[in-house]
A and B are shown apart, each in its own frame.
Chain A
């Protein structure tokens, strides 16, 4: 059964965040700029990872995290991969909006990093790339081919997972009113924008083990749901980031 290797100190989970900090991220979402909503959600997922890694007051390095912010250029926010213990010491960056949207370059960074790391991850959970954006790229070209290559990369636990958080009200025909009772996006879900469909193709299926962890947090995603979280509310952003930290941390029964 794939995606069952638990994140432990000896086999930590690698999570790569690609965060769109283009100018449009300064627009409001739920009463505050989108970029602030993302910063808060990022903080929440860091806290959750710490919670899932603590024994007493010790934070075990069960997760390894890289964060890239992208606009017209890609910025490595953490200065390389950091363990969750190091991240807990550093804190989470608060972001500010910049200019253009070069999504492909961000995915290229993720691909390069994975190429360097994948050989050392053979006993670890499958890595996850969590991409957050509020709109289509306007420079750098189409990111989909790079995302597809990434999704073909694999470790024994499974192929590399890609998740997309699409902060917009143009992705679905009807707004998601209650994220806790939302089934998620499946191949049958009608999408309202071509870029949402592109992101759909760039999104992995939610592994059952991740769905179980999400269920413990009160979310119930249907089997076959994609790791695509489209919406224009802070709750959806939070749900998307919560998914990124849902790697199992204890052995999973077959």
Chain B
């Protein structure tokens, strides 16, 4: 969704849907490439219900804020807390000035988290459960409502139009991980929080918020992801490629969400290919031929076209003529991707299974009583989900060809590696082939 701000800038806001899988997707911003993925747990997929993780982000020409939230499973409707928190966080982060220190930022975020509850407590109290839920489930959920709706998070603000560009990252809980690629080193920011750390939509922050504040100079990547990714260390592109392939056959056990903004190339982020992979790319596949990639497509930090915002003298063209650097090509700004799409209705409400027939009679059973009466006048009607503007979702739904183009572009800019791009492009080409049969347009495959 694009909004014209009073200061004349255009703010684009995105929400990744919770009710379906979003494969690793690229999104071009004016200052870098964002990657995100969202996968529901096998349980959520089987039950046709929403995931408990939530990703949202917004950006303009030189600023970005994002939040990756992980709803706490045994709290009341963890997916609700994740949405409420994510939306509030990216708005709040958008307005802040550069924090004076990590400690000051931690205190600020803590106060904001408490402040959010002025609105969110009421939304939790008024959230209507689906009327068709079995009485025991209703009772369990009402007990959870008394406890509250909770989520953990990792969120960040990237500000590149300040005199000294800066980044501020915050996180809370043991599930989300904040990661950064700085000075050529890829690392998670740790310490990983404890299980008791979380945000309660009724009572506010539990525990102290972890933070990192610093100059954006030499930062190549900022990422936030949930533990559903099942990775021991910050995933490189190699790791992401393997993950996407594994998930084709075996979905993740837990909900998994990742948001990842790349503002400059980095070998650390791209990751090492395994030897088998190296030998395979000696004979280029048709896709590699199209991309004109060498065996290691990602340029080193030194020879890559720098997009480091802290180096304003660098422009995409400064890295030299692509003809003198085989395999390294520059982004093609003459072919901007139009992301405006027609709106489409999206219904994230889960369906419920019908009630089974009553249990068999038994001489030891006097009756089956669910304790709560069948019709509970206290429970208001239908399931109420915070409204998501369909345009937001549709705007993100790029055509398959546009997605292929974005993956190409990310590789050519050195922001991701060839293997990951190939995995994703192969997948998209399959999709395109299914859509068009043999009629794939020239230049696509």
Contacts and interface: CB of A to CB of B under 8 A. Distances in A.
B47 interface: yes
Given A8-B253, A55-B73, A58-B43, A47 B362 contact: no
A145 B134 CA distance: 40
Interface residues of B, number: 46
A86 B50 CA distance: 20
A56 interface: yes
B356 A75 contact: no
Interface stretch (A93-101, A156-164, A186-194, A234-242): A93-101
Given A55-B78, A56-B50, A93 B140 contact: no
B359 A90 contact: yes
A25 to B, nearest CB: 10
Contact of B362 (A51, A87, A93): A93
A95 B49 CA distance: 34
B417 interface: no
A71 interface: yes
For A46, A57, A90, the residue with the greatest tally of chain B CB atoms inside 10 Å of its CB is: A57
B43 to A, nearest CB: 5
A55 B353 CA distance: 15
B139 A93 contact: no
B364 A58 contact: no
A192 B355 CA distance: 47
Interface string A44-84: 00111011101111111000000001010001111100000
Contact of A98 (B71, B143, B363): B363
A174 to B, nearest CB: 33
Interface string B117-142: 00000000000011001111101110
A101 B360 CA distance: 23
Interface in A233-251: 249
Contacts of B253: 8, 10
A7 to B, nearest CB: 12
A89 B140 CA distance: 13
Nearest to B129: A57
B360 A79 contact: yes
Contacts of B364: 21, 69, 71, 75, 77, 93, 95-96, 98
Q: Describe A's contact surface by its main secondary structure.
A: mixed
Interface residues of A, number: 38
B74 interface: yes
Interface string B70-114: 010110011100000000000000000000000000000000000
Contacts, number: 122
A21 B365 CA distance: 10
Given A9-B42, A55-B43, A88-B134, A75 B363 contact: yes
22 contacts: A47-B136, A55-B73, A55-B78, A56-B78, A57-B130, A57-B133, A58-B44, A77-B359, A77-B362, A77-B364, A87-B136, A88-B134, A88-B137, A88-B140, A89-B356, A91-B370, A93-B359, A93-B365, A94-B367, A95-B364, A96-B364, A96-B365
B304 to A, nearest CB: 40
Contacts of B356: 86, 89-90
A154 interface: no
Interface in A152-182: none
Interface string B360-381: 1011111111110000000000
B144 interface: yes
Contacts of B137: 50, 54, 57, 59, 88
For A56, A75, A95, the residue with the greatest tally of chain B CB atoms inside 10 Å of its CB is: A56
Given A78-B359, A94-B366, A50 B136 contact: yes
Interface in B46-86: 47, 49-50, 52, 71, 73-74, 77-79
Q: Describe B's contact surface by its main secondary structure.
A: loop
Given A9-B42, A94-B369, A56 B77 contact: yes
Contacts of B73: 54-55
Given A57-B141, A92-B136, A51 B74 contact: yes
A58 B350 contact: yes
Interface string B227-269: 0000000000000000000000000010000000000000000
Contacts of B144: 51, 54
A220 interface: no
Contacts of B141: 54, 57
B26 interface: no
B41 interface: yes
A32 B43 CA distance: 40
Given A51-B74, A51-B140, A69-B364, A56 B52 contact: yes
For B73, B143, B353, the residue with the greatest tally of chain A CB atoms inside 10 Å of its CB is: B73
A214 to B, nearest CB: 16
Nearest to B362: A75
A235 B77 CA distance: 29
Interface in A3-18: 8-10
Contacts of B367: 93-94
Interface in B149-193: none
A79 B366 CA distance: 16
For B71, B364, B371, the residue with the greatest tally of chain A CB atoms inside 10 Å of its CB is: B364
Contacts of A10: 42, 253
A101 B140 CA distance: 34
Given A52-B74, A75-B364, A91-B369, 6 more contacts: A50-B137, A90-B368, A91-B134, A91-B368, A95-B366, A96-B365
